[in-house]
Amino acid sequence: MMPGVSMDNPVAARSRGFSPGRIVLYLILGLFCLYYLLPLYVMAVNSVKPLSEITSGGMMSLPDEWTLAPWRAAWSQAQVGVEATGLRPYFMNSILMVVPAVALSTIMGALNGYVLTKWAFRGSTVLFGLLLFGCFIPFQMVLIPMARMLGLMGLAGSVAGLVFVHVVYGIGFSTLYFRNYYAAFPTELVRAAQIDGAGFFRIFWRILLPSSGPIAVVCIIWQFTNIWNDFLFGASFSDFDSQPMTVALNNLVQSSTGVREYNVHFAGAIMAALPTLLVYIVAGRFFVRGLMAGSVKG
Amino acid sequence: MSQLAGASGARPMDRLRDALPRIVLSPSVAIVAVFVYGFILFTIYLSFTNSRILPDYELVGWRNYHNLFRIRAWNTAVVNLAIFGLLYIAICCCLGLFLAILLDQRIRAEGFIRTIYLYPMALSFIVTGVAWKWFLNPGIGLQAVVRGWGFENFSFTWITDGKMAIYTIVIAAVWQTSGFVMAMFLAGLRGIDNEMLKAAQIDGASSFVLYRRIVIPQLRPAFMSAFVVLAHMAIKSYDLVIALTGGGPGTATELPATFMYSYTFTRNQMGIGAASAVIMLMTIAAIIVPYLWSELREKK
Chain-centroid distance of CA B149 in Å reads: 38
Residue B235 lies in a domain: yes
Q: What is the ipTM of this complex?
A: 0.90
Measured between CA atoms, the residue of chain A closest to residue B271 is A144
Question: Residues 6 or more apart from A286 whose CB is under 8 A from it?
Answer: A214, A217, A218, A221
Residue B101 lies in a domain: yes
pLDDT at B250: 87
A 10 A CB-CB count for B150 gives: 7
Q: Among A242, A104, A226, A92, which Cα is nearest to A162's?
A: A242
Q: List CB contacts (< 8 A) between B99 and chain A.
A: 29, 32
Distance, in Å, from the CA atom of A140 to the CA atom of B239, rounded to the nearest integer, reads 13
Find the CATH number of the domain harbouring B119.
1.10.3720.10
The distance of B136 to chain A (nearest Cα, Å) reads 11
Q: Which amino acid is it at B219?
A: L
Over range A18-33, report the average pLDDT: 90
Q: Do A296 and B226 touch (CB under 8 A)?
A: no
Residue B61 lies in a domain: no
Q: List CB contacts (< 8 A) between A12 and chain B.
A: 104-106
**Cβ(B152)–Cβ(A57) under 8 Å?**
no
Residue B22 lies in a domain: no
**Cβ(A142)–Cβ(A208) under 8 Å?**
no
Question: Is domain A1-298 classified as CATH 1.10.10.60?
Answer: no
Mutate to test the interface with B, among A141, A179, A185 (most CBs of B within 10 A): A141
Digit-coded pLDDT (tens) for A116-127: 999 988 888 889
Digit-coded pLDDT (tens) for A43-92: 999 999 999 999 888 899 999 999 999 999 999 988 887 778 899 999 99
List the domain range (segments joined by +) for residue B221.
70-298
Distance, in Å, from the CA atom of B115 to the CA atom of A4, rounded to the nearest integer, reads 12
Q: How confident is the model at residue B15 (pLDDT cuts 50, 70, 90)?
A: confident
A 10 A CB-CB count for B61 gives: 9
Distance, in Å, from the CA atom of A62 to the CA atom of B57, rounded to the nearest integer, reads 60
Q: Report the number of distinct structural domains present in chain B.
A: 1
Question: Residues 6 or more apart from B3 whose CB is under 8 A from it?
Answer: A120, A121
Torsion of CA B125, B131, B136, B142, to 10 degrees: -150
Q: Is the bond preceding B249 in cis, omega lying within 30 degrees of 0?
A: yes
DSSP3 helix / strand / coil % (chain A, rounded to 5): 75, 0, 25
Residue B87 lies in a domain: yes
Q: Do B197 and A37 touch (CB under 8 A)?
A: no
pLDDT at B195: 80
Over range A130-159, report the average pLDDT: 92
Digit-coded pLDDT (tens) for B243-296: 999 988 988 999 999 999 999 999 999 999 999 999 999 999 999 888 888 877
Residue B180 lies in a domain: yes
The distance of A134 to chain B (nearest Cα, Å) reads 6
Digit-coded pLDDT (tens) for B56-101: 888 898 999 999 999 999 999 999 999 999 999 999 999 999 999 9
Distance, in Å, from the CA atom of A203 to the CA atom of A216, rounded to the nearest integer, reads 17
Q: Do A57 and B140 touch (CB under 8 A)?
A: yes
Distance, in Å, from the CA atom of A143 to the CA atom of B265, rounded to the nearest integer, reads 10
